[in-house]
Structure 1
Amino acid sequence: MTLTVGLAGITGKFGTLLATSLLRNPSISLRGYARDPSKLSATLSSSPNLHLTRGEAFDASTLAPFVTGCDVVICSYLGDDKLMTDGQKLLIDACEAAGVPRYIASDWTLDYTKLAPGEIASKDPMKVVKAYLETKEKVKGVHIFIGGFMDTLLSPFFQMWDPATQTFRYWGEGDEVWEATSYKNAAEFTAAVAADEKAVGIQKFIGDRATIKQIAASIGRATGTEPKLERLGSLEELKTLMIETRDKNPANIYAYLPYFYKYYMTNGQTLFGPETDNAKYPDVKAESWEDFVRRSRQ
């Protein structure tokens, strides 16, 4: 039996990984939706199981035929609040009108249901979309929680790991647990969820669940080095810094967003483990921090 999967935002970084994982399943017929499908690699675009549609996120006339006949639609949009709320609402409305049974929202994050509005501003659209899906009669929402993305947490944007000096910087005591999953692993779990017609509601997956100091040790084992640990201050000091930075220039979200993520990940508020849905899909191997760093260095 062939399963028809729609993937909106297929040319983005995560969308491309999703498409790669989905096309490994010979039972899946994939439809990709993008503003410029030519950005997709030749390897993917030449797949006989992929059909590409050119269209804008806010063009209902192209969204409707794209979703019609799909068994599940995945949204991998990444952008401003208008795209993440109004853009997804248009896509959800198209799914509802076409009778698409499931919609996998653009989440892939920590447990935002435990956050009050404004605590992490970039999660507010996800809360809005989840509530919007709950008003629909035909299309059921699917929300995939993966903790933080390992790729992002070790990137320069997050200001935690400095590969030049082999320094791991953190707030708190260092024994706080973080939940994290790599982009690649999250895509693999999502592909498994898409193929599972019974998977609805919140789905929880973790590549690794480890303390801050354990993460640093994993990096050390993977790189053959001994990272230096640098404590930047207490969680209360981090909270003060993040609020001061935001209030100084609210429009510059990228200046304070990493602080908010670090605070709400470190204080345990957004944790959803240790119970996960990993075991539902035994063919997908959880990628640990050490696995991820080793693969990234290849």
Structure 2
Amino acid sequence: MASMTIAIAGITGKFGRLLALCLLKALPEVKLRGLAREPSKVDDPSLSSVNLFQGDAFDVDRIRQFVRGADVVCCCYLGDDHLMIQGQKILIDVAEEEGVPRYIASDWSLDWTKLEMGKLFAKESCQRVHEYLATKANIRGVHILIGGFTDVIFAPFFRIWDQENLTFNYWGTGDEMWECTSYLNSAQYTAAVCLDREAVGILRFVGDVISIRNMAKTMQKVYGKAPNMHHNGSLEELSAIMVHERQNYGADFYKYVFK
């Protein structure tokens, strides 16, 4: 494989750092760049070869230096709509101006292609960036859809799995199918996409597809004890709550999603 230069915007985040490690494992001679507000946070000795650029998502001059000569730009931003839409548009524009052939959007999401625009406002930024990339003539967009990060879905702050009380908390019937992929597998898939110069468009990967009820059955089979099941309400009730919280907090999804 010919040498490649891969630029990771937002490299200090958990996923950005994991992606860099997966890329170095897959292709040790790969040239990696990282854009970060605080490059000192990239303190893993295994990433000492990464060429780090200090700058934020709206610092056009630093972004230009960061993307110049890259074979692909991979965005690992995570934040509010202003960052996820306007910040990515700046990164896309500058990358196109500098002749970068591919841009991997910050998705790693459920399949928003099946949703009407704005129907699930937490994923509207993904849809907006997809639309924007489609208007570009000289840079090809890449969107990696993995469902939900398994590590996040079962983290304590989401309250789906209550380890202390051995309880699943769920909305709907409990039979809805969830698409889940771990951080590590998602980073491995993304590394492979980065290294494949022909990988473009909407790409779908998934680690598992399972319902809450089937998760509970699996746990009972493995551990010999059935977890408790707590029903929070219907999907319609959940939707109403999310709309209400959106009105209270605006576009900053992360201020209320963990409630």
Report what 1:239 is aligned to: 239
The Cα shift of 1:166 comes to 0.5
Matching of residue 16 in structure 1 with residue 17 in structure 2: yes
Q: Call closer, same or farther: CA 1:158–1:51 in 2, change over 3 Å.
A: same
The Cα shift of 1:46 comes to 1.9
1:71-150 to structure 2, matched below 5 A, reads 71-150=71-150
The Cα shift of 1:37 comes to 0.8
Q: Deviations over 1:81-101 (max 9, x none)?
A: 111111111111111111111
The Cα shift of 1:242 comes to 3.5
The Cα shift of 1:253 comes to 4.1
Do the aligned residues in 2 keep the contact of 1:7 with 1:76 (CA within 8 Å)?
A: yes
The Cα shift of 1:33 comes to 1.1
The 3-state SS of whatever aligns with 1:175 is: coil
In the alignment, structure 2 segments of 5+ residues that lack a partner are none
Matching of residue 162 in structure 1 with residue 162 in structure 2: yes
The Cα shift of 1:45 comes to 3.4
In the alignment, structure 1 segments of 5+ residues that lack a partner are 260-298
Report what 2:201 is aligned to: 201
Q: Call closer, same or farther: CA 1:218–1:39 in 2, change over 3 Å.
A: farther
Report what 2:185 is aligned to: 185
Which amino acid is 2:199 matched to? Answer: A
Do the aligned residues in 1 keep the contact of 2:68 with 2:100 (CA within 8 Å)?
A: yes
Report what 2:226 is aligned to: 226
| Selected match of 2:39 from 37, 48, 56 | 37
The alignment yields a C-alpha RMSD, in angstroms, of: 2.1
Q: Call closer, same or farther: CA 1:66–1:154 in 2, change over 3 Å.
A: same
Length-normalised TM-score, structure 1: 0.79
The Cα shift of 1:245 comes to 4.6
The Cα shift of 1:80 comes to 1.5
Which amino acid is 1:4 matched to? Answer: T
The 3-state SS of whatever aligns with 2:257 is: helix
Which amino acid is 1:19 matched to? Answer: A
Q: Call closer, same or farther: CA 1:120–1:21 in 2, change over 3 Å.
A: same
Report what 1:210 is aligned to: 210
Report what 1:285 is aligned to: none
Do the aligned residues in 1 keep the contact of 2:122 with 2:253 (CA within 8 Å)?
A: no
Q: Call closer, same or farther: CA 1:221–1:129 in 2, change over 3 Å.
A: same
The Cα shift of 1:53 comes to 1.4
Report what 2:176 is aligned to: 176
Q: Deviations over 1:2-54 (max 9, x none)?
A: 1111101100111111111111122421111111111012323323xx21111
The Cα shift of 1:255 comes to 6.5
Do the aligned residues in 2 keep the contact of 1:53 with 1:66 (CA within 8 Å)?
A: yes
| Counterpart-to-counterpart distance in 2, 1:142 and 1:169 | 34
Q: Deviations over 1:202-240 (max 9, x none)?
A: 010001011221223345566675321222333333334
The Cα shift of 1:198 comes to 0.9
The Cα shift of 1:189 comes to 0.5
Do the aligned residues in 2 keep the contact of 1:85 with 1:128 (CA within 8 Å)?
A: yes
Q: Call closer, same or farther: CA 1:45–1:117 in 2, change over 3 Å.
A: same
Length-normalised TM-score, structure 2: 0.90
The Cα shift of 1:179 comes to 0.6
